[in-house]
Structure 1
Amino acid sequence: MIDPSDHLVVDCDYHYADTFTQAAPYMPEPWRTKFEKSSWGGTGVKQNLSAFFPASTGNRFNYGKIDRDFSEYPDGGDDKDDVIAAMDHLDIDVTLQISHLILAMGGVKADDRRVESFIKGHLEYMFEEVLDPDEGIYGLAPVPYHDIDASMDILDRVEGEETIKGIVMVTAGASPPLGNRKYDPIYKRCEDLGLPIVYHTGGSGLDEYVRAGYEEMVETHTLGFLESNMSQIVSVTAQGVPEKFPDLDIVFMESGVTYLPGLISRLNEEYLKRAEEAPLLNKLPGEYITDYYFGTQPLEESARPDLLEICFDMLGTDKLLYASDYPHWDYDDPSVITDLPMIDDEARKDMLGRNAVEVFDL
C-alpha cells in the first residue's frame, strides 16, 4: 500500500465553510446593505440563514459508525488558515474549494437575484481572501443556472482566473433538469473556456427532500444525494450533452460509486427499447457515463469488495477522483483510496491526484 504523504493528493470536493458575514461586503446592492446591516453585521432587521437560503431540519452531525478522534479534528474552515491546517492534517497537497452555503440554492423559489448575488459576493471574497495557488488552494465557481444571463456574467468574471478550475452546478432542485437545451449556452461557454462542469449533489435534508413525509435523516440522506445526481446523469446523457459539447469534461460529486452499475444497466435497457427518444446519441448511454468523472466520496467502505471491484472495473480508475467532503464529520481521508485491496498502486496514485491534474488542468 502506498503512503499518501509520498504522492500527490488532490481533494476535489473540499467545502469552504463560508458565512454571510464574509460574503455580504462583496455582494451587489441591495443585498450588500440588507445583510451588512443585519444581525450579522451590526444594526437593523434580524436576518439568518433561512432568510436567504431555505433551511432544513435533520442533523447530519449525528454520528456513530466512524471511529475518529474529534479532539484532533481541525475546524476545516471559515478562513484560509483553517484550510491550510486541514490540508496538513489530511496530507492533502491541493484542494478544490466549493461553497458550502450554495448547496442550498435549490430550495430558492422566489424570482429574485439572491443566488446570483451570493455567488458574486462569495467569489470576490474567495479571490481576495482564500484562493492561493502557492498553497494549493483553488476554487470551483458556482453558477446560478436558473438564470442564463446571470450565469454568463459569472463565467465572464472567472475567465482567465488561474485559481478557478471548474464550474459547479448544484443538482438538487434543478428545473428543468440539467440536460435541457436551456443550459446549452452555459455548457458551450464552459467548453470554450476549458472549464469542466462539476455536478454537485444536494437535497438530503429531512424537510427539503423532494418527497414529503420521511421521518428521519438516515432515510433522506440515503436517498437524496443519490437521487439528485442520478436524475441529472440521466438527463444530461439522454439529452446528448456530451455529443453537443464533446470537449466538455463532466464530473459528478458526492454520491459514491455503487449505484452506477445499476443506473447504467437500467438506462441502457431503456435506450435499447426506445432509442428514437434519444436521437443525439451515437452509442449506448452507459458508454457516455463511463466517460464522465466521479468523485469517490462517500466511498461505500462497507460494501462487498467484489461490488466495489465491479464498480472500478466498469467506470475505470482513470475516471475516479479522490474527494474528502471535508470539513463534514463524515469526510473520507486519503486512506479510503490507499487501503483499497482490489486495485494496484498505480491506480491508487491516479485516483489520489493524477486524474484530477488532468481533468482540472492543475
Structure 2
Amino acid sequence: MNAPVDLATKIPDVSGRLGIIDCDIHPYPKAGALNQYLSERWRRHVLEYGKFNCGPYADRGTYPRFSPNTSRRDAWPPAGGAPGSDVGFIRAQLLDPYNIAYGVLEPLLGGNTSRNLDEAAALCGAMNDWQAQEFVEPEPRLRASILVPQDDPEASVKEIEKRAGDWRFAQIQLGSKTSEPLGRRRYWPIFAAAQANNLSIGLHIGGTQSSAPSAGGWPQFYLEDHHVLVHSMQNQAASLILEGVFDAFPNLKVVLIEGGFAWAPQLAWRLDAHWAKMRDEAPLKRRPSEYMKTNLWYATQPVEEPEHPDDLRQVFDWIGWDRMVYSSDYPHWDFDDPHLAFRFQMTESEKRMLYRDNALDVYSFR
C-alpha cells in the first residue's frame, strides 16, 4: 500500500496556482473488476440473478443519457474501458492539467440500492475494496467513499467501522433517493457512526427509484427527470433538519453533491417562516436556517448560470462562502471546468475557501 499524502505540505501550489480539491469524481469498473472482491457465493449470485435494484429496470437507466455512461465523448480511455475506469487517464485528463490535489471518488454503481440487503452489503464491501486498491493506492491524490447499504443500519455501521481510520477513505456516501427520508430514526445509527469516527456524509444525487421521481408523477422528458433530481436533495435537507438529526448529532457534516445549490437560500427562508408558525411540531433547538449554516455544505456542480454572473455571486454570499466546495462531476457530460464554471470575480480568500480550504474542513484527508 502506498503511503498517504503528507499533510504537512497541505496542498501543493504549482506555478502559483492553488491546488484544487475536487469533491465529485466518478470511477467506473472495468468488466469483471468487482469479482475478485466478492466471495464465491456473491459472484455466483450476481452472475445468476444480477443486482436486485428498485425500479422498473433491472440493470439500466430509463433514458439515453445512461449510454454512453453519462460521459463526455472525450473521456473514453485510449487503452479501452469505460470513462472513469482508467486511473492513468484520470490522471492525464483531470488531476494533472487542473492541479487536483485531492479528488473524492463518488461511485454510482447501484450496490447500495439493492432490495436484497445481504447483496447490498456484499456489493458495498466489494466496491469499497475496489476503490481503495485500484484507484487510491496507485494514485494517492484520490480518496474513496465508504458505500453502505443504508436500509440495513447494522451492516452499514459495521462497514463504516471497518473503514474508519483508513487513510484511503474520505467520507461516507449516501444517495438522495432513499426508501424513507434520511431524517427518519432508522438511519440514525449511520449518523452516530459518522460523528463518532469524524467522517462526513457525502449525500450524492440519485439512489433508489422505488417511486416516481416527481411528486407529480413520471416525467415525459429526460430534461424534466434531470431537473427534478434537485428536489430530492431539498427534501433530504429538510428532513435532516426538521427531524432533529443535527440536534442529536451536532458535529455531523453533510455535503450535498450534484444537487445544485441556488435553492438553498429560498429553502432556508421558507423553512424558517413555516417553523415559526408550527415549531411545536418540530421542537428544534435553533431555527432551520441555522443548521444550514453549521451542518450542511454544497458542492458546486451543476453550477447555476444566470444571465448576470454577479447574481450567482450573491447566491454564494447568501449561502456563505464557507459552505461551498468545488466539484467537477468528471467524467460526465456536464463536467464543470474549475477555470470556466464561475464567471464572476473572486478574492484570493474566496478562491481558497471554494477550491480547497472548505473541503479540508469537511473531509477526512489523512
TM-score of the aligned structures, taking structure 1 as reference length: 0.84
CA–CA distance in structure 2, aligned partners of residues 4 and 302 of structure 1? 32
The aligned residue for residue 128 of structure 1 is 133
| Distance in structure 1 (CA, Å) of the matches to 2:49 and 2:282 | 50
Aligned to 1:251: 255
Aligned to 1:16: 27
Structure 1 residue 249, shift from structure 2 partner: 1.4
- What residue number does 2:182 align with? 178
Matched, 1:55 2:60: yes
Point out where structure 2 has 5 or more consecutive residues left out of the alignment: 1-12
Check whether the contact 2:259–2:301 (CA below 8 A) recurs between aligned residues: yes
Residue 80 of structure 1 deviates from its aligned partner by 2.3
Would you say 1:194 and 2:201 are equivalent positions? no
CA distance in 1, matches of 2:306, 2:14: 22
Counterpart for residue 96 of structure 1: 104
Q: CA deviation at 1:83?
A: 2.5
- Paired AA for residue 85 in structure 1: A
Structure 1 residues 47 and 251: alpha-carbon distance in aligned structure 2, compared to 1, 3 A threshold:
closer
Q: How does 1:216-235 map to 2 (within 5 A)?
A: 216-223=221-228, 225-235=229-239
Counterpart in the other structure of 2:88: 81
- Cα displacement string for residues 221-267 of structure 1 (whole angstroms, at most 9, x for unaligned residues): 011x2111111100000012111111221211111211112211111
Q: Which runs of 5+ in 1 are unaligned?
A: 39-44
Q: 1:116 aligns with which of 118, 121, 131?
A: 121
Rounded to whole Å, the distance in 2 between the matches of 1:69 and 1:133 is: 24
Q: Structure 2: which amino acid aligns with 1:23?
A: L
Equivalent residue letter for 2:106? I
Which amino acid letter does the alignment assign opposite residue 87 of structure 2? K
Q: Deviations over 1:125-153 (max 9, x none)?
A: 22222113863111111111100111012
d(CA) in 2 for partners of 1:192 and 1:203? 25
Cα deviation 1:259-289 (Å, max 9, x = unaligned): 112211111111011001111x222101111
Question: Does 2:295 correspond to 1:284?
Answer: no
- What SS does the corresponding residue of 2:280 show, helix, strand or coil? helix
- Structural mapping, 1:302-317, within 5 Å: 302=306, 304-317=308-321
Paired residue total: 341
- In the superposition, the TM-score normalised over structure 2's length comes to 0.83
Q: Of 124, 133, 149, which residue of structure 1 is paired with 2:154? A: 149
Aligned to 1:273: 277
Alignment of 1:33-48 (within 5 A): 33-35=44-46, 38=47
Residues 51-104 of structure 1 show CA distances to partners (whole Å, capped at 9, x for unaligned) of 9954321123799xxxx99558766421322322232243322101111213x7
**Distance of 1:341 and 1:170 partners within structure 2:** 31
Matches within 5 A, 1:204-223: 209-210=213-214, 212-223=217-228
Q: Any idea what the Cα deviations from partners look like across 1:195-228, whole Å, max 9, x if unmatched?
A: 01111111699x96355432110011011x2111
1:178 partner amino acid: L
CA RMSD of aligned residues (A): 3.1
Please tell me whether the aligned partners of residues 14 and 327 of structure 1 are also in contact (alpha carbons under 8 angstroms).
yes
Indicate whether 1:348 and 2:355 are aligned.
Answer: no
Say whether the 8 Å CA contact 2:300–2:325 is kept in structure 1: yes
Secondary structure of the residue that 1:201 maps to in structure 2?
strand
